[in-house]
Amino acid sequence: MRRPVVRKLSVLAVSAAVVSVGAAAPPTATTAPGTDRAPASAPAPAAAAAAAPKVPVAVGSGGAVSSVDADATAAGIAVLKQGGNAVDAAVATAAALGVTEPYSAGIGGGGYFVYYDARSRTVHTLDGRETAPLSAGPDLFLENGKPVPFAEAVSSGLSVGTPGTPLTWQNALDKWGSKRLGTLLRPAERLARDGFTVDATFRAQTASNEARFRYFPDTAELFLPGGQLPVVGTTFKNPDLARTYAELAREGVGTLYRGDLADDIVDTVNAPPVDPASGWNARPGDLTARDLTAYRVKSQAPTKTTYRGLGVYSMAPSSSGGTTVGEALNILEGTDLSAASDTAYLHRFIEASRIAFADRGRWVGDPAFESVPTRELLSQRYADSRACLIKDDAVLTSPLAPGDPRDPAPCATGGTAAPTTYEGESTTHLTTADKWGNVVSYTLTIEQTGGSGITVPDRGFLLNNELTDFSFAPANPAVHDPNLPGPGKRPRSSMSPTIVLDGHGKPVVALGSPGGATIITTVLQTLTGLLDRDLPLVDAIAAPRASQRNAAQTELEPGLFGSPLRGELEAIGHSFRANPEIGAATAVQRLSDGKWVAAAETVRRGGGSAMVVRPSK
């Protein structure tokens, strides 16, 4: 592997060199699941009304946390300071994000949890994706033979899948944690009860959802206090969510799957509490108690590919993140991106993304229902057969037809091209590491910003609209669509929580992002920026982004849309449209001296929050 050079970032030298794991052994489970496994006092609560300052990069020892929110990051750091491990910190951070980022994540949603175990030097994953009701069929979103309008499906009970987030937390703690869920929920419970400071992002996200929030009285009462948008600088409290967290802490997550909270969720989905005066047709869902009691988090092997001598691990299907990022990296493997001009680098990045998304649309779905050729999609042989489609002086036409990974043929495409379906651009990502060298990369979501818009009455959280990630109907009836709804099926996702290891099985970097289908291109671009383009981690995150998802036009952020690079790429044949913001990544990186770099956005979503336990002087 060619090592990225060390460059100055303010007064800090950040290196992407191969790293080592600290000598101390990580804690392991020695008692029954659900009990404290490390003697320590409860972690200090996150700040209440006064938010901690947001700093996008931190370097130090003892562990690290990076998220979009300072209160949430502080909750995770408090856990690490009290002797918790990376899994404990991830759960505490996620619970706090359910308070301060309620339009992006929460216990009404799901996600994917990727864990690196320092003792065994192995990567494990949990699929906590939401599932369709057991009554669902491929016609879930059809009425009179035609697809329900997307905007109408979103704000309805029809779009709500069985939540997976609470059970993901409990599964992660049972397998790898050292503290009880109840202990880890306390900072978030206090944050919900005492409040957090409203910032411009929270107000803007509320404003963008104001019209549909008013359809649902419980949502309007919570998020439009006094009938008005929350004011920047004021304190936002959610006592209902505080009580819900206290119930989960007291009774366990079982109450959400077979207790009173489960009953409330079922009632809300099947009879959405809509304001009759709004005139909104809040279509009911068909979620039952059986759907909740039958829900399981899947423990499964990660995807793995090799890039520049490093092992890249991510989520296998039902997510398409691991296969699509991995295939694109394999396509780029044959190009020396470090020596390429900015124009050539972006051209190759865009074309590799286009090809990988073409294959994603044809082959990836829930493997419990579909025959997904995961191993073949990640083979270098297949990537090479697709890479030869890329020309230096021409652009592939989208939508590009997929190849066949089961029978690779050089430069061949086959079948019918399918455009990439819309995915909500909300979601959130967090990354944690501890003093033992354990690492977590965790992406969680309620789908688009504001989810379904439906708040469970008196419970303080929004329900997801995750089922809209299914195809409503096949793009081409003559071609099998692996992402149609089915009973208990998980909709295809783009979430791409990723952990990169060196040749000795030690962590190099862990990262992820929100952003719907742009998650894949965000992770891909950040990885190549760090590993190929010599960018310090925070700069690789901050770099202006491009996103090509097998569409006629590639989306560009303003930093690229207004630059000379755009004209140089258009001269080759590229076509672009502007996107004001793509993704909101967070990451942690292990340095050669054992210290951690935590990094987050500098500007996107108001900037992120990176902290370490013991900052370097």
Residues marked active site are found at 427
- Tokens representing 329 are 């990296």
Q: Which of 173, 98, 10 is nearest to 430 (CA)?
A: 98
**Residue 233 carries which side chain, given as an amino acid letter?**
G
Distance CA 459, CA 265 (A): 9
Q: Which of 354, 325, 480, 514 is nearest to 419 (CA)?
A: 354
Other C-beta atoms within 10 Å of 343: how many? 17
CA distances from 244 to 103, 319, 465, 544, 553 (A): 17, 29, 21, 40, 44
Q: Are 596 and 613 in contact (CB under 8 A)?
A: no
DSSP state of 605: G
**Residue 420 carries which side chain, given as an amino acid letter?**
T
Distance CA 420, CA 354 (A): 10
The set of residues, in sequence order, having a beta carbon less than 8 Å from that of 322 and lying 6+ positions away, is 302, 303, 313, 314, 315, 316, 378, 496, 498
State the sign of the Cα–Cα–Cα–Cα dihedral 435, 441, 445, 450. positive
- Tokens representing 415 are 């079948």
Write the Ramachandran bin of 355: left for phi over 0, alpha for psi from -120 to 50, otherwise beta.
alpha
Q: Are 437 and 117 in contact (CB under 8 A)?
A: no
Half-sphere exposure of 541 (CA within 13 A, CB side): 32
Place of tokens 């500007």: 603
Q: Which of 601, 594, 600 is nearest to 616 (CA)?
A: 594
* End-to-end CA, the chain: 30
Distance CA 95, CA 34 (A): 17
